[in-house]
Amino acid sequence: RGFLTGSAAAAGVAVGAAGGAYAAHAAQPGPATDTAGLNGARTHDFHGTHQAGVTSSPGAHGAFLAFDLPAGSVKDDLRRLMRLWTDDARRLMSGAGALADTEPELATAPAGLTVTVGWGPKAVALAGGSEAVPSWLRPLPDFSIDALEDRWSDGDLLVMIHSDDPVTVSHALRMVSKDATNLATERWRQTGFRQAYGSHPSGTTMRNLFGQVDGTANPPLASDDFAARVWIQDGWLAGGTSFVLRRIRMELDTWDQVDRIGRENAVGRTVDTGAPLTGEAEHDEPDFDAVDARGFPIISDVSHIRRARPDDPSQRIVRLAYNYDDAPRGNEPAEAGLLFGSLQADVDAQFVPIQRRLAEADLLNVWTTPVGSAVFAILPGCTEDGYLGDTLLD
């Protein structure tokens, strides 16, 4: 419903023909009057112990925005901004326009929108003093594989926006940016995409731009395993987590030259189903001890999954990845890659050992280069009377 059909569409074309340049307009769909059952009507509850952007499966479109607090910011400024962003998230996630929204029509299809807020060390110190800053909340140690650029790194505040509708993401992003005026300045913005809603059966693991099934080893949302990896248990961050965002360039041109055997060897999984090289189906457990007829490991010791998998289960992370594919800038070539997000209760205990092992030896390093890096504390969720950050700001 709401779409021109049959004779109406024909009439549209006829009107358009008479109207010259506006022909295409006349045949466009009108506003939908019945949203029941549409993915656009899908909402996540903003309130709760945790922020919904961590507890829900990520939308097809994602935007990550980092802001800096201007010199001279005081605690009251941060509180004001958090109240504004909380109000934005609360309204937009329910499908309503933001306060004083000049385009509330752009908010009517949340399509699973989540707006999630995190803080860098400066914001935490402003809110609660330096003793409130977790020891892991700082730039990551240097890794030999890094070629980091300032324009994709660090930041005092993070806003992460996910939805299946790119128009909704763009609108939410603008509301959040407008509300930050005079309180914070945008430092960087990174946008990415996953498979569109409806393109694949629900529950299908996404593919990255190397064509690999990416995300298999993640635990199911809402499982005990997920909770154990992700949630901080104590202090003002209880119910929150930490987030590392690595922007990783992927060399699609040289990857193109690698044959299928080389590609599968680099990861330790097949390209078609994502099954481990020792198994049949995507979710079969890899057997790292299995050897071939000549006695060589079937999954290479320097394959990505062998290096990335911690022997100690308490060091596991939850990955949240978006593809990106950006236009050339000046004389630079186009850049594609992965916005590699990692959620964990403790960056130093979980993320860093994995990244260290990968930096030391990982076949994928031949075709991948981290060019951005940032670490944030993802705030706990809030109640209907509260606001994001109130566990430290009040």
Contact positions vs ligand HEM (CB under 6 A) = 208, 210, 212-217, 246, 248, 250, 267, 269, 274, 304-305, 308-309, 317, 338, 340, 354-355, 358, 364, 368
User: Quick one: 163 or 355, whose CB is closer to ligand HEM?
Assistant: 355
Report the sign of the C-alpha dihedral through residues 71, 76, 82, 88, in that order: negative
Q: Which is nearer to ligand HEM, 160 or 213 (CB)?
A: 213
- How many residues appear in the chain? 394
Closest separation in Å from C-beta 324 to ligand HEM = 11
Closest CB to ligand HEM among residues 171, 249? 249
**Least distance CB 362 / ligand HEM (angstroms):** 8
Backbone angles phi, psi at 174, to 5 degrees: -70, -40
CB of 191 to ligand HEM, least distance (A): 17
Minimum Å gap between C-beta 303 and ligand HEM is 9
Give 63's strand partners. Answer: 161, 191
Least Å distance, CB 285 to ligand HEM, is: 9
DSSP H stretches of helix in the chain? 6-19, 23-26, 52-55, 75-93, 121-128, 166-179, 224-230, 252-255, 260-267, 304-308, 352-360, 390-393
CA distance 78 to 55: 25
Q: Which is nearer to ligand HEM, 198 or 211 (CB)?
A: 211
Minimum distance from residue 321 beta carbon to ligand HEM (Å): 8
Residue 87 or residue 282: which is nearer to ligand HEM going by CB?
282
In this complex, which beta carbon is closest to ligand HEM, that of residue 190 or of residue 208? 208
Q: Which is nearer to ligand HEM, 79 or 249 (CB)?
A: 249
**Other CB atoms within 10 Å distance of the CB of residue 304:** 21
- The percent helix, strand, coil of the chain (3-state, each to 5) is 35, 20, 45
Q: Which residues contact 142 (CB under 8 A, 6 or more apart)?
A: none
Looking at the Cβ atoms of 374 and 388, the one nearer to ligand HEM is 374
- The residue among 230 and 305 lying less far from ligand HEM, judged by its C-beta, is 305
The nearest distance, CB 44 to ligand HEM, in angstroms, is 24
Is residue 320 packed enough to be buried (19+ CB in 10 Å), middle (13-18) or exposed (0-12)? buried
Q: What angle separates helix 166-179 from helix 75-93, to the nearest 10 degrees? A: 150
Q: Give the nearest distance from C-beta 147 to ligand HEM in angstroms.
A: 13
Name the phi and psi angles at 304, rounded to 5: -60, -45
Indicate the residue among 177 and 369 with the shorter CB distance to ligand HEM.
Answer: 369
244's CB contacts (< 8 A; 6+ apart) are: 140, 341, 342, 344, 347, 351, 373, 374, 375
In the complex, least distance from residue 164 CB atom to ligand HEM, rounded to whole angstroms: 21
Output b/e per residue, 362-383; b: 16+ Cβ within 10 A. Answer: bbbbebbbbbbbbbbbbbbbbe
Contact 53, 162 (CB under 8 A): yes
Q: What are phi and psi of 192, to 5 degrees?
A: -150, 175
Instruction: Report angle CA 208, 50, 190 to the nearest 5 degrees.
Output: 35
State the minimum distance, in angstroms, from the CB of residue 329 to ligand HEM. Answer: 20
Cβ(64)–Cβ(158) under 8 Å? yes
Nearest distance from C-beta of residue 59 to ligand HEM, angstroms:
19
Q: Between 70 and 313, whose beta carbon lies closer to ligand HEM?
A: 313
